């Protein structure tokens, strides 16, 4: 019997890697994909079924099913792994340069991998850590003592990450790798927009004109706009409700 594959992507709008996968999926026009919101604040990632499929209990996640075979399940997590799998299994249909097959353009693929892998520690960890220290510790009333020196050091590392993006964009091309949008752009953009949780976000980005220009260009894409509408609404409501904490 012929396979009838459907892919279910579990995501949370407040999660940068989730938004990266959603943007990638929409832009690449991946077919037979269902987007399933997994709300972390409601512990929907901790159900027994989710834990069975995804023992690490994180988002984003990808569950592949065969509607003609109830015994078939393929489940993975981690945004980079998910985007790479989606690209490799739809290589004949996705836009050129997004993530080429290794036998077609191994050097371009390696450059994309380099930026995506760097982003996890070079930008994502630092930006999320800064938001955690400056905002979520207070919001959640966590019993954690946050020193100003720790905040300053994390902020410095986050700015170093933005500096790397600025350097990449100063190399004479429109996007992080070249003049074509790649997986790396979606991965990094999600972490730049995550800084919107901080009311002084523009103060950071104003130091990096190329990053701001690149971000504006990315938001010309419908896939990017659609993947941020709910997130920006969430940020706005958070800023209104907890404005005294967002410093």
pLDDT at 3: 87
Both 82 and 113 in one domain: the answer is no
Whether 96 is covered by a domain: the verdict is no
Q: Give the pLDDT score at 78.
A: 98
Structure tokens at 66: 């065969």
Pick the last residue of a domain from 62, 88, 114. 88
**In tens digits, what is the pLDDT along the chain, a chain of 247 residues?**
788 899 999 999 999 999 999 999 999 999 999 999 999 999 999 999 999 999 999 999 999 999 999 999 999 999 999 999 999 999 888 888 999 998 899 999 999 999 999 999 999 999 999 999 988 887 777 788 899 999 999 999 999 999 999 999 999 999 999 999 999 999 999 999 999 998 889 999 999 999 999 999 999 999 999 999 999 999 999 888 877 765 5
Q: Does 193 lie in the same domain as 127?
A: yes
Looking at the fold, whether 122 and 48 belong to one and the same domain comes out as no
What pLDDT, on a 0 to 100 scale, did the predictor assign at position 129? 96
For residue 246, the model assigns a pLDDT of 59
Whether the bond between 71 and the residue before it is cis, its omega within 30 degrees of 0, is no
Which residues, 6 or more positions from 11, have their beta carbon under 8 angstroms from its beta carbon?
Answer: 18, 19, 21, 22, 35, 36, 37, 38, 59, 60, 61
Kindly state whether residues 161 and 189 are assigned to the same domain: yes
Q: Tell me, what's the pLDDT at 245?
A: 65
Say if residue 181 is in the same domain as residue 139.
yes
Identify the burial level of 130 via C-beta atoms within 10 angstroms of its C-beta, where 0-12 means exposed, 13-18 middle and 19 or more buried.
Answer: buried
End-to-end CA distance of the chain: give it in Å, rounded. 59
Q: How far apart are CA 225 and CA 216, in angstroms?
A: 11
Domain check: are 118 and 231 in the same one? yes
Same domain assignment for residues 139 and 224: yes
Q: How far apart are CA 85 and CA 53, in angstroms?
A: 17
Domain that holds residue 235: 106-241
Q: What is the CATH number of the domain that holds 167?
A: 1.20.1050.10
Task: Return d(Cα 38, Cα 217) in angstroms, integer.
Answer: 29
- Residue 37 and residue 73 share a domain: yes
Per the structure, the count of domains in the chain is 2
- Whether 180 and 129 share a structural domain: yes
229 and 119 within one domain: yes
Contact between residue 56 and residue 77 where contact means Cβ atoms under 8 Å apart: yes
**101 part of a folded domain:** no
With respect to residue 39, please indicate whether it lies within any of the assigned structural domains: yes
98 within domain boundaries: no
- 52 shares its domain with 84: yes
User: What integer pLDDT is reported at residue 142 of this predicted model?
Assistant: 77
Closest by CA position to 90, among listed 7, 22, 187, 34: 7
- Give 178's DSSP letter: S
């Amino acid at each position: 019997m012929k396979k009838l594959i459907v892919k279910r992507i579990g995501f949370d709008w407040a999660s940068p890697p989730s938004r990266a996968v959603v943007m990638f999926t929409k832009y690449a026009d991946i077919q037979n994909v269902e987007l399933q919101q997994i709300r972390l604040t409601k512990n929907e990632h901790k159900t027994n079924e989710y834990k069975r499929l995804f023992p690490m209990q994180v988002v984003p996640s990808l569950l592949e099913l065969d509607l003609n075979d109830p015994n078939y399940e393929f489940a993975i997590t981690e945004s980079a792994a998910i985007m790479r799998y989606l690209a490799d299994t739809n290589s004949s249909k996705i836009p050129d340069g997004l993530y080429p097959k290794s036998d077609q353009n191994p050097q371009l693929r390696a450059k994309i991998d380099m930026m995506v892998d760097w982003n996890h520690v070079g930008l994502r960890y630092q930006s999320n850590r800064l938001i955690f220290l400056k905002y979520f510790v207070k919001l959640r009333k966590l019993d954690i003592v946050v020193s100003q020196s720790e905040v300053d050091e994390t902020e410095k590392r986050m700015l170093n990450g933005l500096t790397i993006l600025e350097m990449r964009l100063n190399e004479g091309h429109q996007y992080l790798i070249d003049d074509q949008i790649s997986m790396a752009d979606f991965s990094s953009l999600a972490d730049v927009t995550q800084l919107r949780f901080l009311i002084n976000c523009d103060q950071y980005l104003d130091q990096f004109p190329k990053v701001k220009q690149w971000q504006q260009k990315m938001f010309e894409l419908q896939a990017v706009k659609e993947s941020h509408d709910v997130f920006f609404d969430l940020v706005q409501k958070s800023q209104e409700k907890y404005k005294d904490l967002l410093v």
